[in-house]
Amino acid sequence: MLSEESPLLATTTHEVIYDRFAPDQKRWIVFLVSFVGFLPTFVSSTFVPSIPQIAKDLNSTRAVVSLTVSLSILASAVGALVWAAYSSFYGRRPIYLWGMPFLCVGSCGVALSTSLQSLLFWRFVQTFGCAGGMSLGAGVIGDIYKLEERGTAIGVFFGATLLGFAVAPFLGGAATQYWSWRNLHYSIGVLGLVEMLLLYLSFPETSHPGTLGIDKLKHRRWIHITWINPLRSLWLLRSPNLFAVMLAASLVLISDFVLLVPLAYTIGVRYGITNEAIIGACFLPNGLGNFIGAPVAGRLSDIVLRRWREKRGGVWCPEDRLRATWIGGLFMVPLSVGASGLITTYVGGPIGLALNLLCLLTNGMGVDFVVNPIGSYNVDVVHSRSAEAIAAHMASRSLIISAATALVIPTIERIGVAWTDIIAAVLAVVGQGIILLTIRYGDRMRASMDVGFSTMENN
């Protein structure tokens, strides 16, 4: 349950804006944006277990079809920037509604693909259409929840959206094995239509009154189309703070992709698993870790923020929220990914498989303990452009991960699973080091480049 009370914050004129929606309505809004945010993870995670079958149907190789994973990450980056930029001008509601048709058409295009070229094109359209789910959802949470309730709310949102990582690989594998990967993508198109209908009927505009670009126009047409540079959000990353946490999150998230993208060729081959449904089921522990870890991490980040405010005599320091990342970034993520590589290499049989699944669960939770507080931090420090800040963060992060993902299978083939996973573990520790420096010097970093940081009075 999301708390509506904030014991440290006195009621101010600005805080009244968060009382526009009743608690039950806020929870319904969180449900809706979580439903939409679920789609990007579902679309991406259902695809990986079906790669071998798609390669066979299209007379291609697994390595080539795996490029669609990197292309999807690129499409997510582009889409997140486009939808976030336009949401700051037109509002959250219309942008949600504009994105869904791209998803539906793209899903049908993927299902009808008969060549690798058509698959790549329609996969881009499909992923582009749902790419705004995460950034817009975080922006909506920032619109309706106060500062010290925000981490918990974003944790609930991320937990629900990351459920896709838990169920999608199994469903994708089962659909490929017993139904058809083409029918699966038709089903995703239908799911997009259902979401569009729900949004149209019951989702209100959550942007704060008077803050949208279109509200500030003196003269506007009945149908007003304005060009907005989607890359402008990236300019926020000239802030050392925002760039540092983006880079740190990317280095930690690489561990997720190092474990999951080649899963059919690492755990699958090592333990003799050839059934796509069973391979998909092996993704469940990681997704379950995401699902459990996100709300816990969100609640923890709020608790840490409140306690450090108390220690500071009521003074708010945004970087205090990042202290909640330590357990995930220093211990859970590097230990789990490093251990998985060693176990896969040296431990066979059911014991090795069970230990690997435990590593996947731990890694899923650990990644959330880092990524969730960072997401809330982005919304906190650039509250007036929260969706754009999240989009810039996700887009840049996606580009880094896209490049890293393309290297995963070749690296495993060259130096082996153990060394590849150990490198990922070291990168996660480096990421946490960047976060520690941001906590230590955050105030100086913000002073060096002000990109419109929020204050206590307007957050």
Dmax over Cα atoms in the chain, in whole Å? 70
Residue 262 lies in a domain: yes
* Mean pLDDT per 10-residue section of the chain, whose length is 459 residues: 42 67 89 87 78 78 69 83 85 89 92 85 90 86 84 84 73 76 88 91 83 65 71 89 95 91 85 78 84 88 90 88 94 96 92 94 93 91 85 85 84 92 96 95 90 75
Residue 82 lies in a domain: yes
Q: Look at the chain and report how many structural domains it folds into.
A: 1
How many angstroms separate the CA atoms of 111 and 109, rounded?
5
Cβ of 215: how many Cβ atoms within 10 Å?
Answer: 14
What local confidence, expressed as pLDDT, does residue 247 receive? 96
What local confidence, expressed as pLDDT, does residue 417 receive? 93
How many angstroms separate the CA atoms of 442 and 262, rounded?
37
Task: Determine the Cα angle at 302 with ends 301 and 303, to 5°.
Answer: 90
What local confidence, expressed as pLDDT, does residue 13 receive? 55
Q: Where are the alpha helices (DSSP H) in 131-162?
A: 132-144, 147-161
Residue 333 lies in a domain: yes
Residue 164 lies in a domain: yes
* Alpha-carbon distances of 38 from 16, 24, 161, rounded to whole Å: 30, 21, 4
Residue 216 lies in a domain: no
Cβ of 345: how many Cβ atoms within 10 Å?
Answer: 16
Angle between helix 163-178 and helix 147-161 axes, rounded to 10 deg: 10
Residue 107 lies in a domain: yes
How many angstroms separate the CA atoms of 332 and 370, rounded?
10
Q: Range of 290's domain?
A: 23-210+229-448
What local confidence, expressed as pLDDT, does residue 2 receive? 44
How many angstroms separate the CA atoms of 395 and 388, rounded?
10
Instruction: Please classify residue 444 by burial: count the beta carbons closer than 10 Å to its beta carbon, then call 0-12 exposed, 13-18 middle and 19+ buried.
Output: exposed
What CATH number is attached to the domain comprising 436? 1.20.1250.20
Q: Is this prediction's pTM over 0.85? A: no
Residue 384 lies in a domain: yes
Residue 2 lies in a domain: no
In this structure, the chain runs to a length of 459
Are the CB atoms for 285 and 256 separated by under 8 Å?
no
What local confidence, expressed as pLDDT, does residue 250 receive? 94
H or E segment and range at residue 424 = helix 417-448
